[in-house]
Structure 1
């Protein structure tokens, strides 16, 4: 079992009167900080956050899953918050991120797990199901496109290409980090205050915690390196390096999509049966990209229904 990090007590949220555990998971040559909850013998659920978040992105869903009897593991993905921050862009290639998930599942003594991801965590969840189908029992993704569907949209849809401007802007050295940190993370604060549909989706405390996690040494560059890694190792998007036809997902899949996503076109939810054998799609018209904050109860309900 992973070693408990007794010192990592800040930002622990009570569940049923008991504190969640902070643990250190050794996987794929790095140490990841993770929050765990639920019975140790429950079915394992791994929650993967997106950009620019950390484990706290799931603080609405963790208690619902734990109370339903699942063993929940919500790591800070490599580079984020308390997790180790390896140097270099290649350290954040999708292959490494998938290997992190695989190693984390093994660290908890399991051969497979339910894998749930949002945004970048969703891309990693998709790729894990594609590359290591035996590792994933059930897949659930929130506002993250299937890799092949996304690449096709970037090639054929000027609208999605325009929405994805930031992924290309992040390829520039140093400037993205300066822009994000400028004026005490003003851009991040605007993103969390203005982009959700529900005005109080992110509280003052939520925003302070996001900023503090991103302000840790090396965290900002690591977060941007996720995007820089997309165009490394070959001339194609690395997510579909095997070709658009070699990205099939065989496990039961849930896709939850906040339709008022300003970064990802809702049409990315269409045509997925070309790659996904068994998919259920839940579109939430009154939710944004930050769907688990805009509609936390409905997201939890959809996850519980899918995983049971």
Structure 2
């Protein structure tokens, strides 16, 4: 079974989200959340693989990445608002429940959404990003993770960060991918973030301040995929994550794979995701 990928515009009270979608409209719904500095394009291989099995798959460009939802204030990128966006998108799509997948910042939003709205999230899959509570523990107790996370503090400087990242034809952004992301995708991300205000909006996720709430253990069936070559998240936070999931939990470690799992190991990730979807939440 093959499915054509289509472009969507999803209207919410916050604004208009751009998205890509595939799979039969009546299929079991799966929502994919990207991270920094990417877009819904990051999931193109997973979209094709999952839609081919009859699921309805939608990958939006999140707040700040969609031009129609690009507020200027850093405070407008608080985690509670990002979670509200997920709920609003799902409601506009007519999905009372859905399977939720996230990578990088999208993974953080996915953890928070599953905690705040467990009745909506059928299953959770998070790639790279540990549970926020596990990350907080590692930042308190593990010097390696503190060093890995220093960039989050450095990127709060503005406008110096934007100027540096976009200098020399966005050499710094291109360098993030270190040959692990397909060249056409890397070029698309650079073009996207070179739009006026786009990079500032993306960096506002880091500048929004501490979460306006607390997060506890996750009750929904959860797959967490971490890779040993991830420079942002180390083993301490990854291993601590199992302490923050009370529901069925599967932890998969990908040896020698970088942070950019969806594009560096697309077939393996698609296999793990499909296996998780089949194992939980009969539809």
Match in the other structure for 2:250: 280
Q: How many residues align?
A: 277
Any stretches of 5+ residues in structure 2 without a counterpart? 279-283
Once the two structures are superposed, residues 156-180 of structure 1 have per-residue CA deviations (whole angstroms, 9 ceiling, x without a partner) of: 2121111111110122221111111
Aligned alpha-carbon RMSD (Å): 1.5
Match in the other structure for 2:196: 217
Scaled by the length of structure 2, the TM-score of the pair is 0.94
1:255 aligns with 2:255: no
Asked if 1 retains the 8 angstrom alpha-carbon contact of 2:14 and 2:69, the reply is no
- Secondary structure at the residue paired with 2:70? coil
Asked if 2 retains the 8 angstrom alpha-carbon contact of 1:258 and 1:290, the reply is no
Supply the distance in 2 between the matched residues of 1:28 and 1:298 (Cα, whole angstroms): 37
Scaled by the length of structure 1, the TM-score of the pair is 0.86
Supply the distance in 1 between the matched residues of 2:267 and 2:62 (Cα, whole angstroms): 24
Asked if 1 retains the 8 angstrom alpha-carbon contact of 2:17 and 2:66, the reply is no
1:172 aligns with 2:141: no
Match in the other structure for 2:170: 185
Any stretches of 5+ residues in structure 1 without a counterpart? 1-14, 232-236
Change (3 A) 1:263 1:238: same
Supply the distance in 2 between the matched residues of 1:83 and 1:266 (Cα, whole angstroms): 37
Supply the distance in 1 between the matched residues of 2:230 and 2:244 (Cα, whole angstroms): 23
Q: CA deviation at 1:28?
A: 4.1
Supply the distance in 2 between the matched residues of 1:61 and 1:82 (Cα, whole angstroms): 24
Q: CA deviation at 1:68?
A: 0.7
Once the two structures are superposed, residues 92-142 of structure 1 have per-residue CA deviations (whole angstroms, 9 ceiling, x without a partner) of: 110010000001111111111100000000000000011111110000000
Match in the other structure for 1:267: 236
